Structure 1
């Protein structure tokens, strides 16, 4: 199990939404928490409200993430838990997207996680008692939807990155564990993702409030509940942290389609034997 009490934890995208919920729960369980965010006013306000340390970061910039890590080490001496949570959720059909749309989405949602791992993993591995990384994916890490193709590409990437890292950490035999957080519908301000969009990366992706659309009738949870699920997964070294285990039917449909494809054209055993010879 990974202990939380007494650890220094860093949560990117920690000024609001799921990041804030995770930060609040980590504090409740005894961690010293640094929240990092690109939006300075929200960062300052949240840090004061929840009792965290706020440090501005732009996760799309590796130098900014490195500066964050350096400041955390300078202030606290170590870091034991890293939550790569910063992300955006603007939507748009693939035919309507520009390269600028793709760059913005991938820079934040995938490169942001890559930068976090590249920067913080060596620090965690250097700890005698290791540590834990949480990467925020999505239910879209397992099943895409129309209008969310670019988003799903990044979240599939985060899932693959997390799963591969888990395998390698186990092979290395170091006490560092990793969790993929796959949230479903959580009450956040991800519907306002474009507020921090660089002007030069304008394009077809747009904010959509799915709570008033196709997802209006789904089960919605508050960020603090997502935070409790994350800390439970940290304590238990779970590879997956699911906010909506009741959504298995969504994932199962895709898995069934893949299995059907594998079984559709079975290999002829005699032909395979002949080829082998």
Structure 2
């Protein structure tokens, strides 16, 4: 089901080769990808395909990386629309692309305009790509625990419906996300989820540390997709565990690193 490319830090020109999934591969009329760290021009902590405008990386490198990713999807660099992410449950319809770094403060972008790629950045949070191939509507959403709990999945589906999509036709894939094995949280977060719905207790397992638990963010997001009436799945890839391919905010924090790169996930109508 998964396809992936090789990562190389040897300096040779390596093109971005994003990850894909069979569920979206089967749909006509779209191009998409969950980009890894492979195929960019950044170095150091950001090597190599850092697409994070909000990172401290050289902006010229970030812009070049974004342009490489856009070309991989068959669109020009100025036709890639990514939002200013704020861990919200807000989605916006994209008719025209804004300047880089000046996107709306939302966590999902939706379009039916051909030639526009909509995307989100991530580094442990869940990147979700959506498509309704019959209504010709696509979307990208960023789902951290706050956004997922607040309803970013449902907000994205609702925004797609305003453009003619039907939820029973929508297919969604959750890309590389931090896994339960590497996502330890405090009792306060467990309490927040259980207060929202006691059924949420199933997404937590005891940690080795008292007062802590291991949270299954991918499982929770996929459950929200299912409850929203969407055919969705998880790629089963952990950003924290796979340093060769993925950036990870939590891994960088545990190492006391100064910053971290961001992965791009994007989709467009052909």
TM over 0.5: no
Structure 1 or 2: larger strand share?
2
Q: Which has the larger radius of gyration?
A: 1
